[in-house]
Structure 1
Amino acid sequence: MSALGFTTKIVHSDHKLGLEAGAVHAPIHNSVPYGFSDVQGLIDVFQGQPGHAYARTSTPTLDALCQKIQKMDNGVATAVFSSGMSAIVATFLTLLKAGDHVICSRFLFGNTTSLLRTLEGYGIEITLVDATEIKEVEKALKQNTKMVFVETIANPVTQVSALAEIGDFCEKEELVYVVDNTITSSFLFDARAVKTSLIVTSLSKYVAGHGNAMGGSVTDTGLYNWENYPNIYEGYRKGDSKMWGISQIKKKGLRDMGACLSSQGAHLISIGSETMELRMQRQAVNAMALAELLEDHPKVAKVYYPGLASHPQHVRAKTLFNGFGALLSFDLIDDIDCCEFLNKLNLVISATHLGDNRTLALPVAPTIYFEMGLQLRQEMGISENMIRCSVGIENTADLIADFKQALA
């Protein structure tokens, strides 16, 4: 039998688990403790055997979602968390120690950039580089470098990292290669294909889609040799070495740090994920139509969207991704106030989020990148008149008409 398609794998994932009464959706298990008729069963779970003891670490509902995400990411194991940021925090804090060095893209989500400053306070050295150029990544290598962290498509300026070249570099130098796949998602980009070690995703965005649940995931692709990684604790150096990294992230991030996803949230994310391919295809069509309208409009100074031939990494995006996604930003000409423009839109909602079914937009500089300050915004290519759009699934003609009337 040939390999199943992306959506087919997702919609049949729960049913293939052999659920009670032939259910096609994994049920919501709200229980916090899990009891055992034989106390040895409880002891076995605490000593690493499969099973559930306490909801902070796992529930059957979370396990079903983990299996679904693992299939999407083509990985060997997945852990889920309360948000995308908690997944990133858990990855950094469980795998890095004081004195370690991390190479990071300087085109990162604002909260992630803020987190990097916190890590520096813990004695972890950070070097920010232009990740669209492999030479910049290579120049940052130090003797104490342990990890490289990049996003696929940057938010909000849409720079596309040199993902394949960085994968080759990390393989050669035996570095942990962490890719934040949120903006593309596993539908648009198979991060394992570029030798990624760990795939981090905010499930709140394109995976869930409906803007009604938060969650994050970390998937181990099975490509990194954890036997050579010095920061794996002795207690986790047992069994299949491919599981050492994800076991440490899960135990430390969930059990010790408590960044646990609720079963309710996991269920909503799981249901939403079934239509991810359909939603993202429609969003990409809308985003391209909107990008083309804006690029040709005299009141728009610049458009940032990888699907446009004018984008500096258009060819790279076309090669790597199964589409160009739904994140789009643009600069209005200087004499138009971006807030006044946004207030004239009727369908587009002024809100901060990505991947929603509805088109959302905001002025970047005074909101999500306000804390960064003018200098850092300029270094990241963010203008003071930039608007970011998360393009939704509205009928294309309605969305285009709304932008036309607002620009008029």
Structure 2
Amino acid sequence: MTEVKGFTSRIVHHDRRQGFTDGPVHAPIYNSVPYGYETTEGLIDVFQGNAVGHAYARQSTPTIDSLQSMITQAEQAVGTIVFATGMAALSAAFFALLKQGDHLIASKYLFGNTHSLLTTLENFGIEVSFVDTTDAEQVKQAKRDNTLMVFAETIANPGTQIADLAAIGDWCEAQGLVFFVDNTITSPYLFNPKTVKAGLVMNSLSKYFSGHGTVLGGAITDTGFYDWQEYPNIFTSYRKGDTKKWALTQVKKKALRDMGGTLSSDGAYQIAVGAETMALRMDRACSNALALANLLNTHDKVAKVYYPGLAEHPQHDQAKQWFKHFGAILSFDLQPKYDSATLLNNIDLVINATHLGDNRTLALPMASTIFYEMGPQNRQQFGIGDQMIRVSVGIEDCDDLIAAFQAGLDKL
């Protein structure tokens, strides 16, 4: 079959190249929980990792394998493990690869639930330092003798801060540390973390990967960049075969198998179908976001706009260099005398909902929803003001979206 190199061409034609019987264009949904073998020895080989196959759906199904292969291709990587949610994927990676007494350096600009997860790690004796990853020097200064990993998001939610990805990746390589990047906000279409020497990549498949707001899922991908022979926490029983697969094997065995968090075959099917239009959706949503950011940035009722596509954004030049587009997430602060809830109630085209990467434009006030439990002092530390509104820009016609926001602001 002719080799294709384009992002969408590879994804759209991925399923039918997997060798399923009877030539399905989409990977079939395998809903069987157990998988049987003609001989007992065949089952034993699968259990012991001596043969490729399926034993129990908590760990894999043919539908799951097909999605994992698609994500691996999208990230230009060596392997992927999928989970029921993005948070399940993150939890699996951290708990499988870190242990009591280890140290993790993490961005202080993180999705609220991710920040909460990392504070939970501290309860298990894993040390965590939260630093400003937009400044690589702060990352370097946080290193300890027991540091094993650095974790950052590509574009932070909701403040849109961008980590100094290239400098951190270079430093992690020199120090022998794992650079772990959350690629959710950019997606594999906008950015390939392997180019900044990331060893592990996380994607919340619920967001831009599937795009339709109908399914939850998450993935951990190994780019093949990090040499796991140098990582001290890989168990002896998993130090066999391809060294680039050691970490994923441990994540699969010690987290997916032992802790659950399994993505269903039905969910994997929905994600794979949604992924086919990722590039088309991202092109449209990012274009809409830039237009909306420019409108808000010149409006007298708006105090500040947070969007990497604006020239005054602190990391605009890095975003321009690393990402195909500037993303479809933006936030803005209203002038103090205006109420964020009133504005959102005025914009009937925008849905008041928490989620990212949907085809529909979604918005919500940050301080009173996702970051409410953090408290005002912590919110201030992370740059989340009482008037901040986050917008996940969708694929509506741009003129309609701009007109809706203009009308909403006019009513204030």
Same fold (TM over 0.5): yes
> What residue number does 1:186 align with?
188
> What residue number does 2:116 align with?
114
> What residue number does 1:246 align with?
248
- In angstroms, what is the RMSD of aligned CA positions? 0.8
> What residue number does 1:214 align with?
216
Number of equivalent positions: 408
**Contact 2:100 2:126 (8 Å CA) reproduced:** yes
Whole-angstrom distance in 2 between the partners of 1:313 and 1:125: 29
Residue 91 of structure 2 aligns with an amino acid whose one-letter code is V
Which SS does the other structure have where 1:21 is aligned?
coil
> What residue number does 2:87 align with?
85
Indicate which of 121, 141, 165 corresponds to 2:143.
141
List gaps (5 residues or longer) in structure 1: none
Which SS does the other structure have where 2:318 is aligned?
helix
Q: CA deviation at 1:22?
A: 1.7
**Counterparts in 2 of 1:189-208, with a 5 A limit?**
189-208=191-210
Indicate which of 95, 100, 104 corresponds to 2:102.
100
Which SS does the other structure have where 2:22 is aligned?
helix
Q: CA deviation at 1:20?
A: 2.3
Indicate which of 292, 295, 299 corresponds to 2:301.
299
Q: CA deviation at 1:371?
A: 1.1
> What residue number does 2:26 align with?
25
Residue 177 of structure 2 aligns with an amino acid whose one-letter code is L
Whole-angstrom distance in 2 between the partners of 1:240 and 1:325: 35
> What residue number does 2:40 align with?
39
Q: CA deviation at 1:262?
A: 0.4
List gaps (5 residues or longer) in structure 2: none
Whole-angstrom distance in 1 between the partners of 2:3 and 2:253: 36
Q: CA deviation at 1:57?
A: 0.3
> What residue number does 1:353 align with?
355
Whole-angstrom distance in 2 between the partners of 1:193 and 1:143: 27
> What residue number does 1:174 align with?
176
Moved more, 167-176 or 19-28: 19-28
Q: CA deviation at 1:39?
A: 1.6
Q: CA deviation at 1:3?
A: 5.6
Whole-angstrom distance in 1 between the partners of 2:362 and 2:185: 15
Which SS does the other structure have where 2:42 is aligned?
helix
Indicate which of 56, 62, 65 corresponds to 2:64.
62
> What residue number does 1:165 align with?
167
> What residue number does 2:76 align with?
74
Whole-angstrom distance in 1 between the partners of 2:132 and 2:206: 27
Q: CA deviation at 1:295?
A: 0.3
Whole-angstrom distance in 2 between the partners of 1:370 and 1:281: 32
Residue 175 of structure 2 aligns with an amino acid whose one-letter code is E
Q: CA deviation at 1:373?
A: 1.0
Write out per-residue CA displacement over residues 296-354 of structure 1, whole angstroms, 9 at most, x where no aligned residue: 00000000000010111000100010110100100000111000110111110000000
Whole-angstrom distance in 2 between the partners of 1:178 and 1:211: 26
What is the aligned-residue identity percentage? 59
Q: CA deviation at 1:2?
A: 7.1
Whole-angstrom distance in 1 between the partners of 2:117 and 2:103: 15
Write out per-residue CA displacement over residues 99-123 of structure 1, whole angstroms, 9 at most, x where no aligned residue: 0000000000000100111000100
Write out per-residue CA displacement over residues 24-48 of structure 1, whole angstroms, 9 at most, x where no aligned residue: 1001000101111212111111011
Which SS does the other structure have where 2:326 is aligned?
coil
Whole-angstrom distance in 1 between the partners of 2:236 and 2:20: 36
Residue 400 of structure 2 aligns with an amino acid whose one-letter code is D
Whole-angstrom distance in 2 between the partners of 1:59 and 1:389: 36
Q: CA deviation at 1:377?
A: 0.8
Which SS does the other structure have where 1:22 is aligned?
coil
Write out per-residue CA displacement over residues 93-145 of structure 1, whole angstroms, 9 at most, x where no aligned residue: 00001000000000000001001110001000000100000100000011000
Moved more, 201-210 or 31-40: 31-40
Whole-angstrom distance in 1 between the partners of 2:190 and 2:263: 25
Matched, 1:8 2:9: yes
Whole-angstrom distance in 1 between the partners of 2:25 and 2:4: 21
Moved more, 353-362 or 235-244: 235-244
> What residue number does 1:263 align with?
265
Whole-angstrom distance in 2 between the partners of 1:132 and 1:106: 10
Whole-angstrom distance in 1 between the partners of 2:242 and 2:36: 28
Which SS does the other structure have where 1:214 is aligned?
coil
Whole-angstrom distance in 1 between the partners of 2:126 and 2:19: 45
Q: CA deviation at 1:213?
A: 0.5
TM-score (norm 2): 0.98
**Counterparts in 2 of 1:227-242, with a 5 A limit?**
227-242=229-244
Residue 198 of structure 1 aligns with an amino acid whose one-letter code is L
Whole-angstrom distance in 2 between the partners of 1:386 and 1:221: 35
**Counterparts in 2 of 1:318-329, with a 5 A limit?**
318-329=320-331
Which SS does the other structure have where 1:205 is aligned?
helix
**Counterparts in 2 of 1:312-391, with a 5 A limit?**
312-391=314-393
Whole-angstrom distance in 2 between the partners of 1:57 and 1:88: 17
Q: CA deviation at 1:250?
A: 1.1
Whole-angstrom distance in 2 between the partners of 1:46 and 1:190: 33
**Contact 2:4 2:10 (8 Å CA) reproduced:** no
